[in-house]
Structure 1
Amino acid sequence: MGVEILIAGIIILLSLFSIRISKKLEIPLLIMFLLVGMLAGSEGIGRIYFDNALVAQNLGTIALMFIIFSGGLETKKEDVKKSLYPSGTLATLGVLLTAGLSGVAVYYLTDFTLKESLLFSAMVSSTDAAAVMSILGDSKLKKDIKSVVEIESGSNDPMAYALILFLLSFFKEGESTSIATGIIFLLKQITLGAIIGYIFGVVTLPLANYIKIVREEFLTIHLIAILFICFGLATVLDGNGFLAIYIAGIMIGNKKFNYKLNSIRNMRLITWFMQIGMFVMLGLLVFPSQLLGYIFIGSLLSVIMIIVIRMLVVYSLLWPFKFNYKEKFFISWAGLKGAVPIIFATMAITEGLPNAQGMFNLTFYIVVFSVLLQGMTLKYVGKKLNLFEEDQEEDKFIEIEELEELALKKMILDEQSEYVNKKIRELELPQGMLIVSIKRDENYITPKGDVILLMGDTLLFSQN
């Protein structure tokens, strides 16, 4: 056991070191993490043999849960309202059209059957939130465009997942499947997922208050518990778990609650750890020598699927919306693939499909092709199209949310707080704890001893 733990620690450290190389060579982080896994694999210098697709699928699903939920937590309600229709259209109809058109191309260019071609295309149909957000990051891309790209990439995985489950049913003996049952299945997945996500979005924070969670560490654990329960319940009831946790994440993240920024930061930390683990694991799972036979067909399909068909779908579906040709081109180019298609491809292996390994290898190649081509040029394309906003002078004042970055603690007083309607001098604060700021509505109040605290006040504490 000690050797395994030592190796795991070395792999994590190498992954962190690869971040420096990534920045210097301007190579997307996802590729570096995959490369670490491949180097540690059975055909690399690490000689670690790993071919358990079921383990990879299960661990990858858990990682995706954190990535999608965390993405929801950091999605602003205003952005959702503004970009709901274009993003929603691309995340639903876009996935269906991409899978259908790509399926035709795959059928005629490979030895896959029609069912296998459609299933493979569905696996590669969604864009990847982790890939998109890791590259765009804090870039100054125009907000309207960035919102569409990020919300689409965060919300189209559920649609792709539901489509894959439906197509897999065609491979199971004894199951009668038709277009009608498929439509019913997809509607059930989306409807149940949305309802369950909404319910958990409503009850999560009141439940935390009822339990009387008073530490940010426990609140983070509470969010993780909700994440698992929400996804698990939706899945058990045949709803879409990924959609449920995404909606719940958006609703929770747009509410005010104590330790909000620290909780989101903690979830972001877990998410990055999950991303490193997921990409390294997928790098371990692939056998590089097997990819050599897919260079020609993989490159051809990559161009057709991620460039030609992606642009055709985006330009067609965004026609009713007010985007110019430059913006549509960028949104098309931002359709990066990532870990999600690879994890979806492991489902073909665990289901024992005849061409499962071919699907997995081809998916892996297309993902690498996409990240290298689109990922390395995405910012350059945005700048050439003049879609990045000019640097603006930073505000000269510091918001309470930003002050929290200095390890200060924030508390929002609700009706149950023991501090409400008391003077500051009457409070029994822990030794060394000071109130350094009071925000009431949009005004800031100097925390003097005779100030009476009211419900709704936001207090900022400093611990000496």
Structure 2
Amino acid sequence: MTSLDAVSIAILLGAVLVMAGILSSLLALRFGAPLLLVFLVIGMLAGDSGPGHIEFQDVRTTYLVGSVALALILFDGGLRTRFQSIRTVLAPSMVLATVGVLMTAFITAPVAKYALDLGWTEAMLVGAVIASTDAAAVFLLVHAQGLRLRPRVGATLEAESGSNDPFAVFLTLMLVELISAGHGSFTHFVIELVREAVLGTLFGIVGGRLVVIGLNKVALPQGLHAPFVATAALVIFGMAQIAHGSGFLAVYLAGIIIGNRPTRAHNSVVAFLDAATWLAQIVMFVLLGLLVSPHRLLDSLVPAIAVALVLMLIARPAAVFLCLYPFRFNWREKAFIAWTGLRGAVAIFLASIPMLVGLSKAYLYFDVAFVVVIISLLAQGWTLGVAARKLHVALPRTDRGPRRIELDLPGQLEQQLVGYAIRSKSLYFRRGLIPSWSKPTLVIRNQQILSPAEAEPIAPGDYLYLLAPPEKAESLDRFFVDMPPSAAPDPHLLGDFMVSAEHTLDEVAGIYGVKLGEGEERLTLADYFDIHLDNAPKEGATVALDTIVLVARSISGGRVNVVGLRLPEDEEDVPVLTRKQQVKRKLADVWSSVVGV
């Protein structure tokens, strides 16, 4: 009975720790504190050196939990990634995820060697462990601090932080093998890298497509679609690892493929994985905190701080500026990407590998990684919003997105029901605008279900449900948030082929002789962009209006402010692609056809 009581106590303590982590996340989000730091502190307080006095030294269990958690986190990141949003930044992101990680490790290694009194290979291992950025930490903090990143910056960070973990894992394992065996060759290193990349890509693409087929062809009972996808992700990870491929790369690619193809129960899968990854992160962070010994940390605290400062202020910026040099990022964008290289659970997870295989000085790697993560989250995490605004790469969100309700429709994959509460200041209520690809279907008012015709006129407080493609559902949000006050157009932009977006289509048609559709006369140019664009307008976005093309020249408050008119004989605005841009576009098209998105 004593052993059974011990198991029950362990379950109780584990549940209490997880619950404490969940509740503490509310405070972290409220004050912008990094969640990872909160969970690690809870684990430390519960450990043998804290008031909890829990003795935990099971590195194998920690590594197992960390592998599963990291696989689910990467899969969830891939599932939420829209290939169309990252295809233009694939090249710089992949360079950062591979060459950037290697350069960061190389630049950090000399400091680790002399500060920690290590050999060159051991110092390189320290650099490899802390070289990759943490996707969960980056985007959780971006969300918590209310930032809206510029599309290219956000897409680059998303693709880099999601894809650099597999290379960091590979580099760490190779160095651990080199230290354990005492010898190795460059040829062996390259062969292993190619094998892991090829097999990881193969398992990811094939596995992702098989999961899509399984979701759409197999009639699973209601509620089992999400567990099926999560389990399938772990199967793909395990099979790739057993075949000596990169399991982490495989699950990330599988997530991208599944997330970019029409599948059943997409919304329930995303919601389930969101909760699963939260729980996985909390458990992993608490376990890592339990492994930390504050007394042991003191011995390597000063050298670890030196490594952290060099990493943040020299190694990461140098790698980012050099890797992004060929890709025409301006210095502000490079500086922000460099500063947003937050270190998180991945670094501490990688540091547990030397402990697992029993390397000498194994706890040194773990302690250094822990200190680096703490300093990175404190210094970079809390200043992320300030850096974004000072460098002009993001704008603070002035509005909260509406509460969107998404309902799958059994029997088909192309449409779903998307519901919103009607606000009095929303674009839909004030202007009656919705995109051409959505269709109002029903209205709920005072507990009654009405058709749109029966509910006319729509009133604030009603709930409107529309049919829309699942991949475009998020784009409906901008029609149901409060409209920000529009700024006056810049008078310097208003020339012969520049007009205010507040002009109506009827006025443009009268000057340029274009034909309008029925009921379009009173629409403004800004309205026309909102109706015909799939996503929120960006500078340079174009829509056709009969024989002319409208070009968004200025954006204010999320709407087009100034419009350029490209006439049939006007070639001034047609971009001329360089040979390099043509090759990049062709490679992106080939990759899109390979993964089937």
Name the counterpart of 1:315.
321
- Give the corresponding residue for 1:428: none
Identity of aligned residues (%): 33
Number of residue-to-residue matches in the alignment: 422
Matched residue, 1:161: 169
Counterpart secondary structure, 1:140:
strand
Counterpart code for 1:402: R
Q: Write the letter of the residue equivalent to 2:355.
A: I
Q: Report the alpha carbon displacement of residue 126 of structure 1 after superposing the two structures with TM.
A: 0.7
Paired residue for 1:148?
156
The correspondence of residues 334-353 of structure 1 with structure 2, limited to 5 A, is 334-353=340-359
Work out whether 1:442 is the aligned partner of 2:437: yes
CA distance, structure 1, for counterparts of residue 381 and residue 164 of structure 2: 19
Distance 2:228 2:131 in 1: 33
Q: Distance in 2 between matches of 1:458 and 1:248?
A: 21
The SS at the match of 1:118 is: helix
1:110 corresponds in structure 2 to 116
| Map of 1:453 onto structure 2 | none
Give 1:254's aligned residue. Answer: 260
Q: Does 1:228 align with 2:226?
A: no
Higher helix content, 1 or 2: 1
1:172 match: secondary structure = helix
Counterpart-to-counterpart distance in 1, 2:388 and 2:55 = 41
Residue 191 (1) aligns with residue 198 (2): yes
Say if 2:418 is the partner of 1:411: no
Q: 1:446/1:149 Cα in 2 relative to 1: closer, same or farther (>3 Å)?
A: closer
Task: Say which is worse superposed, 31-40 or 220-229, in terms of deviation.
Answer: 220-229
Distance 1:180 1:32, change over 3 A: same
5 Å matches for 1:19-34?
19-34=25-40
1:208 to partner: Cα distance:
2.2
Q: What is the rounded CA distance, in whole Å, between the counterparts of 1:117 and 1:334 in structure 2?
A: 24
Quote how far apart the aligned CAs of 1:102 are: 1.5
* Partner Cα separation in structure 2 for residue 277 and residue 391 of structure 1: 31
Structure number with the higher strand fraction is 2
1:236-275 equivalences under 5 Å are 236-275=242-281
Deviations 1:308-357 (A, max 9, x none): 11101100110111211111000000000001111111110111111111
Instruction: Pick the structure with greater CA Rg.
Output: 2
Distance 2:469 2:127 in 1: 50
**Cα distance per residue 1:77-106 (max 9 Å; x no partner):** 112202211111100111111112222221
By how many angstroms is 1:16 displaced?
2.1
What's the CA shift for 1:370? 0.8
1:118-148 CA-partner distances (Å, limit 9, x unpaired):
1121111111111112111263111211111
Distance 1:381 1:230 in 2: 38
- Structure 1 residue 412: deviation in Å? 5.3
1:393 CA displacement:
7.7
Change (3 A) 1:20 1:181: same
The answer to whether the 8 Å contact 2:44/2:50 transfers is: yes
Superposed, which structure 2 residues align to 1:357-372 within 5 Å? 357-372=363-378
**More displaced stretch, 317-326 vs 20-29:** 20-29
Alignment of 1:14-413 (within 5 A): 14-137=20-143, 139-173=147-181, 177-215=184-222, 217-389=223-395, 391=397, 402-404=404-406, 408-411=407-410, 413=412
Distance 1:362 1:457, change over 3 A: closer
Distance, in Å, in 1 between the alignment partners of 2:310 and 2:374 is 15
8 Å CA contact 2:147–2:395 kept in 1: the answer is no
CA distance in 2, matches of 1:414, 1:306: 46
1:390 and 1:304, CA in 2 relative to 1: closer, same or farther beyond 3 A? Answer: closer
Distance between the aligned counterparts of 1:318 and 1:192, measured in 2? Answer: 28
Alpha carbons of 1:384 and 1:46: their partners in 2 closer, same or farther (altered >3 Å)?
same
Change (3 A) 1:414 1:176: same
Structure 1 counterpart of 2:85, one-letter code: D
Separation in 2, partners of 1:394, 1:18 = 22
CA separation of 1:170 and 1:413: change in aligned 2, threshold 3 A: same
Matched residue of 2:405: which SS?
Answer: helix
SS in 2 for 1:320: helix
Structure 1 counterpart of 2:421: none
* C-alpha distance after superposition, 1:151-200 (max 9, x if no partner): 11111000011111211221334x85201110111111111101110111
Paired with 1:257 and 1:237, the residues of 2 have a C-alpha distance of: 28
In structure 2, give the amino acid aligned to 1:269: A
Query: TM-score when scaled to structure 1?
Result: 0.85
Indicate the RMSD between aligned Cα atoms, in angstroms.
Answer: 2.6
- Residues 201, 106 of structure 1: CA spacing in aligned structure 2 closer, same or farther, 3 A cutoff? same
CA distance in 1, matches of 2:186, 2:250: 24
Correspondence for 1:423: none
Do the aligned partners of 1:53 and 1:349 also contact (CA within 8 Å) in 2? Answer: yes
Of structures 1 and 2, the one with the larger relative CO (CA 8 A, separation 6+) is 1
Asked if the contact 1:345/1:360 (under 8 Å) is kept, the reply is yes
Give secondary structure in 1 for the equivalent of 2:410.
strand
The answer to whether the 8 A contact 1:413-1:458 is kept is no
Letter of the structure 2 residue corresponding to residue 2 of structure 1: S
1:283-320 C-alpha deviation (Å, 9 max, x unpaired) = 11101121122221111111111221110110011011
Q: Distance in 2 between matches of 1:446 and 1:269?
A: 30
- Secondary structure, aligned partner of 1:225: helix
- Cα pair 2:72 2:234 within 8 Å, conserved: no
